[in-house]
Amino acid sequence: MDLGLSGKTVVVSGASRGIGRAIAESFAKEGARVALVARGEQELATLCASLREQGADAHAVVADVQTEAGAAAAIEKATALLGPIEILVNNVGGSLGSGKFADVSLADFRRVVDLNMWSAVYMSHAALGGMKQRAAGVILHVSSISAREYCSSAPYAAAKAALSGLTKEMAVDLAALNIRVNAIAPGSILFEGGSWDRRSKSDPARIEKMKREELPFGRFGTPQEVAEVAVFLCSARASWVSGSTVVVDGAQGRAL
């Protein structure tokens, strides 16, 4: 299916690995022009070089989008490289491991919320001016099934739940400007260097038990499986989808 994304200008935050990397790669395969945003300069440079070898128009933007200034700088540089931004994917996120409410410090709670929720707010706000001028745009947040399932990290669950709620509010508020806003909520996704990869190596017996008892298909999802849904939602093929949080979890029951 031709998604009609050739030549579209796309910004993907948290693009250096995992789900963000897969989303950026999928946009590039569709012919989109992509700005990849992350803090790690070397990882971004390597990924951009790989995409360019495949004929993609890919650019690295090194920035910390957990701050308002960092997000504004990222959008400003991406716009200078690509022109007006048509699609924004807010993928920055993560937790600090176990974060049971009684044990987590307020400083760590704030760090996780800044990473997962405020980064999306800052990036969306920075990109909104150009989208408003053109009366067109798409914003996609990467949430998690942790927004609705117990995951043993109160800060992460709270931040992702806030992001899902924000998605609906933004979608309604921005519809008059012809800007669509959606979210995806991945389940447990396995990729090299990710949290499930580390757990699989440190406690293989527990992970095998989890796959048998908590993952109906008996395996983890892949970043590419999430990316395919993300790219579709950002395309004109999903023109009547806005305000939705689409779950991509293989019918997973819990977020542990």
Reduced to 3 states (helix: H, G, I; strand: E, B; else coil), residue 2 is coil
The length of the chain is 256
Which one of the listed residues 27, 156, 191, 232 is annotated catalytic? 156
| Sheet bearing 9-13, strands edge to edge | 57-62, 33-38, 9-13, 87-90, 137-142, 179-186, 245-248
Number of H helices, E strands in the chain: 9, 7
- Please tell me whether residue 189 adopts helix, strand or coil conformation: strand
Q: Is 150 a catalytic residue?
A: no
Would you call 24 helix, strand, or coil by DSSP?
Answer: helix
Longest dimension (CA), the chain: 54
d(CA 75, CA 125): 10
Q: What does 153-174 look like in DSSP terms, one character per residue?
A: BHHHHHHHHHHHHHHHHHHHHH
Which position has the token pair 């993560």? 94
Helical spans, DSSP H, in 54-176: 68-82, 106-113, 119-134, 154-174
Active-site amino acid positions: 156
